[in-house]
Amino acid sequence: MKVLILGGTGVISGAVVREASAAGAELTVVTRGTSSAGGTPPGVSFATGDIRTSSVVEDLLARENYDVAIDFLAFTPAHVAQDIEWFRNRVGQFVFISSASAYQTPPLRLPITESTPLRNPYWEYSRDKIACEDLLIEEYRESGFPVTVVRPSHTYDGSLVPIAGGWTAVELARSGRPVIVPDDGHSRWTLTHASDFARAFVQLLGRDDVAGDAFHITCEEAPTWREITEVLLAAAGAEAEIVQVPSAIVAAHDERMGASIAGDKANTRIFDNTKIRDIAPGWSAQIPWAEGAREIVEWHDADPSRRVTDERIARLLETVIAESRGL
């Protein structure tokens, strides 16, 4: 199976490249030249170029035929309109990477399934992903464009720190300074290791029976944000106060972080993975958060250059903590 991947060096896409390569797929990855934190297996072909400003995709399609195309870099309807133009009648399957944040926010029923409505009035990123899905499904209905939609939830590897403030918050905690959780910290959250995601994802590739369909792939462990933070700080050997900060205060000082919290992380997200298990029998997420937290700490501690403190983030955390304490 010949697979063309737009992206391929990110947290999710890098794991997919490694898993698909191990499964025997012949991969061509289009990248701007950055590398994956997890490394890239031998035998993967690379084409370098910015897909928005160069002819790299057209050049590849002129030379090769691909069974599957996957776009990890499509975030707006304009991006997927370009995908449709590139891949209509040229691939057997197109896989769009959407987001579980597109689901109804806050969800009115749990667990979330693929039939949960798509609606997120709080986060532009999610609304754009919904608009992308709408365009692709309309194209499937009208022309049979062979799209499969995949909605990851919060997916991580050793390089990605899920708590507010990222690795900066861990460094602050190691020095005894407080860190934050959104609102009361009791919303339950699903963290999925990228390798677990990839093992199920590759089983969707090359299948005719998933055209026009959508799947999420998530872990089913759902600790609270306070528990997530406590486990990570314990793995880092840090003891620090965990401060509850209202989402509105974060948004007032950092619109992007605030939208991510209000439009996603402040809401309990528990998922039913029955549908992907129908495609990948026997699959389940194998890496619990406690193990993932240790991996994150080990990855960062292995190289001093990874343990960077972002002073802007540090000041932001200090500001929102002080303001929340003054309520």
Confidence (pLDDT) at 38 = 63
Please answer whether residues 39 and 48 qualify as being in contact, where contact means their C-beta atoms are separated by less than 8 angstroms.
no
In angstroms, the CA 205 to CA 2 distance is 10
The H or E element that residue 4 is part of is strand 2-6
User: Please, what's the b/e burial string for 239-248 (b: 16 or more CB within 10 A of its CB; e: otherwise)?
Assistant: ebebbebbbe
**pLDDT tens for each residue of the chain, 327 residues long:** 999 999 998 999 999 999 999 999 999 999 987 666 666 788 899 999 999 999 999 999 999 999 999 999 999 999 999 999 999 999 999 999 999 999 999 999 999 999 999 999 999 999 999 999 999 999 999 999 999 999 999 999 999 999 999 999 999 999 999 999 999 999 999 999 999 999 999 999 999 999 999 999 999 999 999 999 999 999 999 999 999 999 999 999 999 999 999 888 989 999 999 999 999 999 999 999 999 999 999 999 999 999 999 999 999 999 999 999 986
Closest C-alpha among 173, 275, 306, 177 to residue 229: 173
Q: How many degrees, rounded to 5, is the angle at CA 36 between CA 222 and CA 173?
A: 50
Please answer whether residues 167 and 300 qualify as being in contact, where contact means their C-beta atoms are separated by less than 8 angstroms.
yes
Please answer whether residues 126 and 99 qualify as being in contact, where contact means their C-beta atoms are separated by less than 8 angstroms.
yes
SS3 163: coil
Concatenating the DSSP letter of every residue in 18-45 gives HHHHHTT-EEEEEESS---TT---TT-E
All residues at 6 or more sequence positions from 300 whose CB lies less than 8 Å from its CB, including other chains: 158, 161, 167, 170, 306, 307
Confidence (pLDDT) at 46 = 93
Q: Side-chain half-sphere of 266: how many Cα atoms within 13 Å?
A: 24
Cross-strand pairs, 192: 155
Confidence (pLDDT) at 285 = 97
**Domains in the chain with CATH codes:** 2-155+191-217 (3.40.50.720), 158-190+222-269+288-325 (3.90.25)
- Residue spans of beta strands (DSSP E) within 67-111: 68-71, 93-97
Q: What is the DSSP letter of 103?
A: B
* Rg of the Cα atoms in the chain: 20
In angstroms, the CA 20 to CA 17 distance is 5
Paired tokens of 80: 């997927």
